[in-house]
Amino acid sequence: MRILGIETSCDETGVAIYDEQRGLIANQLYSQIEMHADYGGVVPELASRDHIRKTLPLIQAALKEANLTACEIDGVAYTAGPGLVGALLVGATIARSLAYAWGVPALGVHHMEGHLLAPMLEENPPQFPFVALLVSGGHTQLVKVDNVGDYQLLGESIDDAAGEAFDKTAKLLGLDYPGGAALAKLAEQGTPNRFIFPRPMTDRPGLDFSFSGLKTFAANTINQNLNPQGELDQQTRCDIAHAFQQAVIDTLIIKCKRALQQTGYKRLVIAGGVSANKQLRTDLAQLMQQLGGEVFYPRPQFCTDNGAMIAYAGFLRLKNGECTDLSVSVKPRWNMTELAKI
Ligand code: KG4
Ligand code: ZN
């Protein structure tokens, strides 16, 4: 079975082909980041229009990369939610139409299930069950994963997602959108412990997160440390970036440890854009060594949005006989625990 996967939920157009025997055989990605950077964030209407321009050429490029013709595709999977409604509708319309024309089934995939299953594309995939920490621009969730579709939400952010907090703090530090990776780079030059940020919601039981206060803490720290020219000197920028990043990471680690203790599971999966963060990976490796467990990640290019994770999640579900009807429908808000178990 060979599945074409299409991701258009936000600001990346991703197209990939997953082959049951050979694994991933094509992966194409176009990022709109440069276009949105001028506006300091994603402009939904511009995102939709750009997906319209890029999706079909990327599908052609993916077929060429895999040396396939359209009649060798057995199903089309697309991100049906959560995400920006206009952007989702572009992928859904193209996917549903191609599947109809090719006479194959189509399936709407949950974007976060795509992220969650992305580590399965690696050489050493995790076995079920495991705890998943999903950390992206729109979500921060701890999920108990017993099988594909068997998900229990253990905790989530009650306000900003971790990636969103990275991006907002990066903006305060004068970095372009989305500033998560750039902030992490600044943090590498930071002096540990010059500034200490709070570790929100770690002083009480539970597995929920709150990151919006860290952005305010960063804004106040910046204001208190401006030089006589009213600017931040470079070392202070790095030190604030370091303190912010360490607070997010420590908070995530404390909650991961709790989730593992609560479930008794020994395997942890981290996925979503923030899982590309090197310091987070280093600190989590240390935690798992201490707990005698194992941590699994997607390769860095599959931490952020991509078509491969949608092709793979779609393959598992289409193989199981699931498919959507002929209507084009998307779910901008969609709870992952509503998904069917496989
Ligand atoms: O999963 P993703 O590509 O998109 C969503 O589904 O939201 O995640 C994007 C998020 C952005 O907030 C971005 O700044 C953040 O992931 N990110 C990082 C790093 N690389 C990407 N945050 C911290 N450190 C990084 N290295
Ligand atoms: Zn994502």
Residue 210, φ and ψ in degrees, nearest 5: -145, 120
Residue 229, φ and ψ in degrees, nearest 5: -80, 0
Q: How far apart are CA 300 and CA 309, in angstroms?
A: 13
Structure tokens at 18: 């997953």
Cβ neighbors of 21 (< 8 A, separation 6 or more) are none
CA torsion sign for 226, 228, 232, 238 is negative
**Model confidence pLDDT, tens digit, residues 97-155:** 999 999 999 999 999 999 999 999 999 999 999 999 999 999 999 999 999 999 999 99
Do residues 116 and 43 touch, judged by C-beta distance below 8 A? no
- Side-chain half-sphere exposure of 113, counting CA atoms within 13 A: 31
Sequence-distant contacts of 41-44: CB under 8 A, at least 24 apart:
41/167, 41/177, 42/10, 42/11, 42/84, 42/177, 44/84, 44/85, 44/86, 44/87
**Model confidence pLDDT, tens digit, residues 159-173:** 999 999 999 999 999
Cβ neighbors of 5 (< 8 A, separation 6 or more) are 14, 15, 16, 17, 18, 76, 77, 78, 109, 307, 308, 309, 310, 311, 312, 313, 314, 315
In this predicted structure, what is the pLDDT of residue 213? 97
**Model confidence pLDDT, tens digit, residues 55-77:** 999 999 999 999 999 999 999 99
**Model confidence pLDDT, tens digit, residues 4-41:** 999 999 999 999 999 999 999 999 999 999 999 999 99
What is the residue type of 58?
A: L
pTM (2 d.p.): 0.96
**2-7: strand order across its sheet:** 23-31, 12-19, 2-7, 75-81, 106-110
In this predicted structure, what is the pLDDT of residue 342? 92
Q: What's the mean per-residue pLDDT of the chain?
A: 97
- Pairing state between β 12-19 and 23-31: antiparallel
Domains assigned to the chain: 2-117+302-338 (3.30.420.40), 128-297 (3.30.420.40)
How far is the centre of ligand 1, averaged over its atoms, from the C-alpha of 300 (Å)? 11
Q: Is 140 in the pocket of ligand 1 (CB under 6 A)?
A: no
In this predicted structure, what is the pLDDT of residue 21? 98
Please give the average per-residue pLDDT across 296-324, as a whole number. 97
In this predicted structure, what is the pLDDT of residue 104? 98
Q: Is 165 in the pocket of ligand 1 (CB under 6 A)?
A: no
163 a known binding residue? Answer: no
**What DSSP character marks residue 135?**
E
Protein residues placing their CB within 5 Å of the ion ligand 2:
136, 305
Q: How far apart are CA 276 and CA 16, in angstroms?
A: 20
> Which mutation among 10, 270, 274, 281 tests ligand 1's pocket best, with the greatest number of atoms within 8 A of CB?
274
**What DSSP character marks residue 22?**
T
Question: Quick one: which atom of ligand 1 is closest to the CA of 137?
Answer: 7
